[in-house]
Structure formats: C-alpha cells, structure tokens
Amino acid sequence: MPKYYEDLEPGATRTCGSRTLTRDEIVEFAERFDPQPFHVDEAAAQRSIFGGIVASGLHTMCASMRLYTDDFLDDIALVAGRGLDEVRFPNAVYPGDTLSVRIEGLEKSPSPSDPSWGEADVSLTTVTRDGETVLSLSNVFVVERRPADDSE
C-alpha cells in the first residue's frame, strides 16, 4: 500500500541513510555536469577558497535526493515533483565526506489544480558526520489523495 496525501504527517522528521562521496565520483560527476576547476582540477582547486577538490553542489543535491527517495519518497503515491526552493550550499563537500539527510518537517495542502491530488513541501538538510550542514532545500511534490473507494 502506498502512502497517500492523507497518510503524510505534517511536521514529521526523519533521518535518511548515508552515502560517502569518493574523489573519483566527485570528479566524474563534475566533468559531466559542472566542470569548474575547483571540482575537477586538483592544482586549481588548491588555489581556490576550498584548498582542494570539492563536490559540485549539484552532485551533493543529487546524492541527497537519492537518499531521500530511497528512505522517504519511495512508498509515497507520487504524481510528480514540482520543484525545489532555497537550495543552499553553506559548506563544501570534500572527497570521503559521508552525507546523511534529515527531513526537518512537512507541510501539505490540497492541490489547486486537481481534487484527486495534494501537494507536500518537505525541508531537507544534508549534514556530514561532523555535523556540518552542506545542503539545505525544500522539495515540493504532488501526491495522490486516497481514492474514495479505497478501504482503509
């Protein structure tokens, strides 16, 4: 049984699983999508404010969204993602850093466009093992409402 709109608990918190980003993965991802020198070139990265290669924020975000999908979204009757708000990268992710995602809360409201849908807004914070925040964002998604003929 998937979780419907009615099953989502406002204010719910949860810690999703963890994931370590290796240097090879960081460089490979950045070469493909975000080839800034401080993501792909060790010498240039040493001269940057980071002092060494760091992960693309897009990579940190994608890895975090995967943890969030596996541990939270996976059993929800998802219709579609609608967007992301206030995506911030307050600290850099270095090779070997282990990321863990905290779901900080959840708000929900009926969909303005379809009575069989609802919308949910979840705040995510990604932290390293040292407790440093490397990413925060809000994810808005559309979820099915429980069908009227569905026996609980």
The residue ranges that bind its own copies (CB under 8 A) are: 32-36, 38, 48-50, 57-58, 61-63, 65-66, 69, 73, 78-89, 92
Nearer to its own copies, 50 or 152 (CB): 50
The answer to whether residues 143 and 77 touch, using CB atoms and an 8 Å cutoff, is yes
Q: Which H or E run includes 96?
A: none
CA 102 to chain CA mean position, Å: 9
We find the least distance from the C-beta atom of residue 107 to its own copies, in angstroms, to be 17
DSSP 45: H
Q: Least distance from C-beta 57 to its own copies, angstroms?
A: 5
Beta carbon nearer to its own copies, 80 or 148: 80
Structure tokens at 43: 């010498």
Between 5 and 89, name the residue whose CB sits nearer to its own copies. 89
What values do phi and psi take at 90, rounded to 5? -70, -25
**Closer residue to its own copies (CB): 34 or 121:** 34
- How far is Cα 21 from Cα 115, in angstroms, rounded to an integer? 41
Taking the complex as a whole, the smallest distance from the CB of residue 62 to its own copies amounts, in Å, to 4
